[in-house]
Structure 1
Amino acid sequence: MSRISVRGFAVASATAVTAVGSVVGVASGSTAQPDDLELTASDATLLADIPAGQQAQVQTASLTQQADVQAIAADASAKKEAEEAARKKAAEDAITKQKAAEEAEKKAEEERKEREEAASRSAARADASDFAVQSSYTVAQVQAMAQQMIPGDQFTCFSNIVNHESTWNYQATNPSSGAYGLVQALPGSKMASAGADWQTNPATQIKWGLNYMNERYGSPCGAWSFWQANHWY
């Protein structure tokens, strides 16, 4: 190898050394100075004086230094990708946990409401048979019966439906459909399941209406929510 080619190769080798120093410097937070490059390049020109028998060693050293630069760069890139993947995974896990907690809270609230409604429905209330039979009833009397038969937290909803369906007239009849009574059962004879006096006893109608709302909508308030959306129940 000629002296000129050795000098050029030495400069390339020095450049590789400088590149390695730059990568290490960046990783450690230091900044390379221009003088470092000049000093290294200046020293590298001295490699032109290396005997021909040692030039192969210079070539090997240069290739090794270049490989080191590439390896350091690859390691830095892999580390950055791993950190980004870990960050994304942590964010996804946090979102998943939050959704699971919200679903659990929602389910717990629904179960609590169901328990409260079930307890309210099962609470001891007056039955139709607890009221003396009369030949007729005023609106105030019918409402008083309902207040004793309907759970307290459900009475307003029950009352809203009756207000819209019959205005508390236990003998109300729909001339077109034949619906009858306080809750406008269709047909009215359905209420016979609560008592044979369904046509004349508002307590029997209230009993049947409460059972119907509980079985079909879960509660009078469930029936009222449906009524508001559809204007029937």
Structure 2
Amino acid sequence: MSKRTKYVPKHRSVPEPTLRSAPTKALRTGLVMTSVAAAVTGISVAGGLLGTPAQMTTTAQDLGSDITGGLAGTSSDERAAAAALADREVVSRAADRRREADPDKVSALSVDSGPARTASVDVTDGDPRDIARALLPQFGFSGDQFGCLDSLWTRESNWNPAAHNPSSGAHGIPQSLPGSKMASAGPDWASNPVTQITWGLGYIQDRYGSPCGAWGHSQSHGWY
């Protein structure tokens, strides 16, 4: 009598190893994350060799692509998670590095620059004509008034601070009469061209309104 084949019900067939795939998937995901973390750490250590955070991010993306591409068996979700982790870690470390103060800049900015210094220019030894040009705006006169002033004081004293008229007592560049009137502009009125010109321009402003007004009067009367 032939041996009968043992009957095995279909509902008792050997189950597929579904539970075994879960640990394998978890192990594979752990390898991906570990590889990404190692790559990010390598980027951070070599951060001083990279020029900018943008370059660091690009490098992280390239390394993340290499890692996830090399593990072809992983799912698309796992690869996306690995790439996102690489970008997030590198951007975070780059931001921390930007917040760090450059010690050289801190040292340079902390140096006391010292008090501000001002300088004054002595024009008393310069050409009296240049002094007059510089003083015109202080009395509201424009530069085109200098021609009239030059003609007026060339006739009066030839711009000589020591010019003195012995018969009338007029003195200085503007031929102030008497010369002591110029003391209102400064005690050195007898010899300082700045003091004399300052007084003379004030006199012209009060009496004639402008150098051209004074020159017009001088031409018609012979004096101002």
After TM superposition, the score normalised by the length of structure 2 is 0.42
After TM superposition, the score normalised by the length of structure 1 is 0.41
Q: Which of the pair is proportionally richer in helix? A: 1
Larger radius of gyration: 2
